[in-house]
Amino acid sequence: MPVEPIISVRDLRVAYGANEVLKGIDLTIAPGSFVALLGASGCGKTTLLRTLSGFTPAASGSITVKGKDILREPPERRGMAMVFQSYALWPHMNVAQNMGYGLKLRRVPRHEIQRRVSDLLQMLGLKGYGERSVTELSGGQRQRVALGRALAVEPQILLLDEPLSNLDARIRLQMRHEIRSIQRQLRVTAILVTHDREEAMVMADQVVILDQGRIAQIGTPEDVFQRPRTPYVASFMGAENIIDCDASPDGDAVRLRIVNIPRAGVRCTPLQARLGPVQVHFRSEVASLRIDGAEPANRLEIPGQIRQVSYLGGAYRCEINTGCGQFFVDHPSCIAAGDAVTVSIPSTALHVYPRDPARLPH
Query: By CB neighbour count within 10 A (0-12 exposed, 13-18 middle, 19+ buried), where does 74 fall?
Result: exposed
Contact 188, 152 (CB under 8 A): no
pLDDT of residue 3: 76
- Residue 212 belongs to some domain of the structure: yes
For 223, the 3-state DSSP assignment is: helix
Domain boundary among 233, 261, 286: 233
Contact 266, 324 (CB under 8 A): no
Quick one: 80 and 206 in the same domain? yes
Quick one: 159 and 260 in the same domain? no
- Residue 2 belongs to some domain of the structure: no
The amino acid that residue 324 corresponds to is C
Query: By CB neighbour count within 10 A (0-12 exposed, 13-18 middle, 19+ buried), where does 251 fall?
Result: exposed
Contact 157, 151 (CB under 8 A): no
Quick one: 167 and 283 in the same domain? no
> Whole-angstrom Cα distance, residue 343 to residue 301?
6
Quick one: 83 and 103 in the same domain? yes
Quick one: 82 and 222 in the same domain? yes
> Whole-angstrom Cα distance, residue 88 to residue 316?
40
pLDDT of residue 172: 86
DSSP 233: H
Collect all residues with Cβ–Cβ distance below 8 Å to 76 and sequence separation of at least 6: none
Long-range contacts of 225-228 (CB under 8 A, 24+ apart): 225/201, 228/281, 228/351
> Whole-angstrom Cα distance, residue 176 to residue 314?
23
- Residue 1 belongs to some domain of the structure: no
- Residue 69 belongs to some domain of the structure: yes
- Residue 148 belongs to some domain of the structure: yes
Our count of domains for the chain comes to 2
For 221, the 3-state DSSP assignment is: helix
Quick one: 314 and 227 in the same domain? no
Q: Which residues of the chain have pLDDT under 50?
A: 362
> Whole-angstrom Cα distance, residue 198 to residue 172?
11
Structural domain boundaries, residue 322: 239-359
Quick one: 219 and 328 in the same domain? no
What CATH number corresponds to the domain at position 101?
Answer: 3.40.50.300
- Residue 334 belongs to some domain of the structure: yes
Contact 192, 160 (CB under 8 A): yes
Quick one: 200 and 271 in the same domain? no
Quick one: 207 and 283 in the same domain? no
pLDDT of residue 292: 72
> Whole-angstrom Cα distance, residue 338 to residue 327?
15
Quick one: 192 and 294 in the same domain? no
Quick one: 174 and 323 in the same domain? no
CA angle 215, 51, 142 (to 5 degrees): 105
- Residue 111 belongs to some domain of the structure: yes
Quick one: 247 and 294 in the same domain? yes
Closest to 225 measured CA to CA, from 249, 192, 202: 202
What CATH number corresponds to the domain at position 253?
Answer: 2.40.50.140
Cα separations (Å) of 270 from 275, 287, 348?
9, 22, 12
- Residue 186 belongs to some domain of the structure: yes
Kindly write down the DSSP assignment for every residue of 71-101, as one continuous string: TTS-GGGTTEEEE-TT----TTSBHHHHHHH
Domain boundary among 233, 252, 281: 233
Domain boundary among 233, 254, 274: 233
